[in-house]
Structure 1
């Protein structure tokens, strides 16, 4: 299991929001991990889990710790470039609790809507 903290670590007194990030293409996890690790105030860890019953292989997810919707917005705004850079069709899903949003080549996040999406993921409503 690898872990990476980037930029300045969020202050311990701040509220941190945990989000899980999954990539449809296993080969995309490492590149997305490295890309997200360059964003200030985002702590990114890489988690591997064994296969479920009847499945083969290892599932990898990224866990983000973000201090605010504004920082999650920066994460969301990096996804179009990442998705376009992949040779094959790839989708990225960000999940927090029972809320999730999936991005792919068909529905890339609009920069103006990124803060709205982040607020929906992190909000209490």
Structure 2
């Protein structure tokens, strides 16, 4: 992928004072079922302060088709925790078995119907993804 996802990105807002610069974290979100990318994009787009973009890329070696990834920009661990807490309801709402993987740099976590994130453990999962670089 083009942008290294292990580095925080400084958010650039024209209405932000220079001394109040925010640091944001970039994560890639992949979904096992292509038909579920749009619904997950719409759900994540409703989370305050989270920025979600859809990106298409060519197929991996030996595979056909186009892969779609959601790129998630969150300003804090708290917002990423909210994202993680929304995944159980999304996964349960899908008719087919679907898995969602969140990746930041070389760290990733995959959720499916068998290992839905427990709300009490969402902060631990966030800490594992963001960790100390």
* TM-score under structure 2 length normalisation: 0.83
**Rg (Cα) greater in structure:** 2
Paired positions, count: 116
> Does 1:120 pair with 2:131?
no
> How many Å apart are 1:120 and its aligned residue?
1.1
> Does 1:92 pair with 2:100?
yes
- Counterpart of 2:84 (choices 76, 83, 88) is 76
Q: Any stretches of 5+ residues in structure 1 without a counterpart? A: 1-9
Query: Hey, what's the Cα distance between the residues in 1 that align with 2:66 and 2:34?
Result: 9
Match of 1:64?
72
Query: Hey, what's the Cα distance between the residues in 2 that align with 1:96 and 1:88?
Result: 26
Instruction: State the 4+ residue runs in structure 1 displaced beyond 4 angstroms.
Output: none
> Does 1:25 pair with 2:33?
yes
What's the secondary structure of 1:107's corresponding residue?
coil
Aligned-residue Cα RMSD (Å) equals: 1.2
Q: Any stretches of 5+ residues in structure 2 without a counterpart? A: 1-10, 14-20
Query: Hey, what's the Cα distance between the residues in 2 that align with 1:60 and 1:104?
Result: 18
> Does 1:43 pair with 2:51?
yes
> How many Å apart are 1:52 and its aligned residue?
2.9
Query: Hey, what's the Cα distance between the residues in 1 that align with 2:39 and 2:98?
Result: 12
